[in-house]
Amino acid sequence: MNKLRLAVFASHEGSNMQSIIDASKQDKLQAEVVCVISNNSSSGALKRAENEGIAFYHVSVKTHPIEKDFSDKILEILNLHKVDLIILAGYMKKIPVEILKAYRNKILNIHPALLPKFGGKNMYGMNVHQAVIANGEKKSGATVHIVDENYDQGKILNQIEVVVLSDDTPETLAQRVLEVEHKIYVETIQKIIDGSILLQ
Ligand code: GRF
């Protein structure tokens, strides 16, 4: 069976991306990461891609100041690598509408909370965990969802809960959520391949 061809978009460390690559290498995932795109030239994600021998690209407002050129470049890379599914893993840039149209229902994101709570424009990184704790939530978690035109509002595909401990700081909570992110992202992609999660 042909493996699903994944592009990962990541801006930072790339630990979610690494968990997907590792699962693929261990045959726990019938998919392979065929290219990595980052808007951050010094991201850990690009270094990891290089170490893994995976094609990697820095595409940003620095390399492509005109929005249309930015989208065209990304679409060119996706076409070149015959990408089936785009995996956002800590990607800090809004996806241009041209890419959303070309890959409708084929772009996934992982969010470090239980959407629809704690999503939206400024809800990223440590802000999310700070808000969860400040709100006195008893549980948080991770959500994998389809990406559409609105931040964190696309169809929810899978969620996993993490208990918020009374002495949690945003950092300790973030660490436990990240651990489950690594599991749920791989699991969700494999369920899409199996047909038990539908992208529509
Ligand atoms: C993760 O918490 C993810 O949910 C969020 O950004 C973080 C990325 O971590 N969107 P990493 O780059 O995969 O290590």
* Per-domain boundaries in the chain: 1-104, 110-195
Cis bond leading into 116, ω under 30°?
A: yes
Residue 2 has pLDDT above 90, yes or no: no
Give percent helix, percent strand, percent coil of the chain, each to the nearest 5.
Answer: 35, 20, 40
Query: Which residues, at least 6 apart from 199, have a Cβ–Cβ distance to it below 8 Å?
Result: 105, 106, 146, 157, 192
CB atoms within 10 A of CB 73: 16
Mark whether 64 is an active-site residue: no
Which of the four pLDDT bands, split at 50, 70 and 90, describes residue 200? confident
Q: Which CATH architecture has domain 1-104?
A: 3-Layer(aba) Sandwich (3.40)
The ligand 1 atom at the shortest distance from the C-alpha of residue 11 is 12
Q: Which of 36, 177, 178, 183 to mutate to test the pocket of ligand 1 (most atoms within 8 A of CB)?
A: 178
167 CB-side CA count, 13 A: 0
Report the predicted TM-score, pTM, of the whole model to 2 decimal places. 0.96
The ligand 1 atom at the shortest distance from the C-alpha of residue 88 is 10
Cα dihedral sign, 150-155-157-158: positive
61-79: average pLDDT: 97
Residue 121 φ/ψ, nearest 5 degrees:
-55, -50
Residue 152, Ramachandran bin (φ over 0: left; ψ between -120 and 50: alpha; else beta): left
Domain 1-104 and domain 110-195 have a common topology = yes
Give me the pLDDT at residue 72, please: 98
The CA 1 to ligand 1 mean position distance, Å, reads 30
- Nearest CA, atom 8, ligand 1: 90
Parallel, antiparallel, or unpaired for β 107-111 and 139-146? antiparallel
Amino acid at 196: S
Query: What is the enclosing helix (H) or strand (E) of 11?
Result: none
Angle between helices 126-134 and 170-194 (to 10 degrees): 110
Q: With beta carbons less than 8 A apart as the criterion, state whether 140 and 113 touch.
A: yes
Cα dihedral sign, 81-86-89-94: positive
Which of the four pLDDT bands, split at 50, 70 and 90, describes residue 24? very high
d(CA 44, CA 67): 25
- Nearest CA, atom 10, ligand 1: 90
CB atoms within 10 A of CB 165: 12
Place domain 110-195 in its CATH homologous superfamily.
Answer: Formyl transferase, N-terminal domain (3.40.50.170)
User: Which residue is catalytic, options 81, 111, 129, 182?
Assistant: 111
Give me the pLDDT at residue 121, please: 86
The CA 36 to ligand 1 mean position distance, Å, reads 15
The ligand 1 atom at the shortest distance from the C-alpha of residue 109 is 10
Compute the mean pLDDT over every residue in the chain, rounded to the nearest whole number.
97
Which of the four pLDDT bands, split at 50, 70 and 90, describes residue 53? very high
121-128: average pLDDT: 93
Give residues (CB < 6 A) around ligand 1.
10, 12-17, 89-90, 110-112, 178, 181
Helix/strand/coil for 95: coil
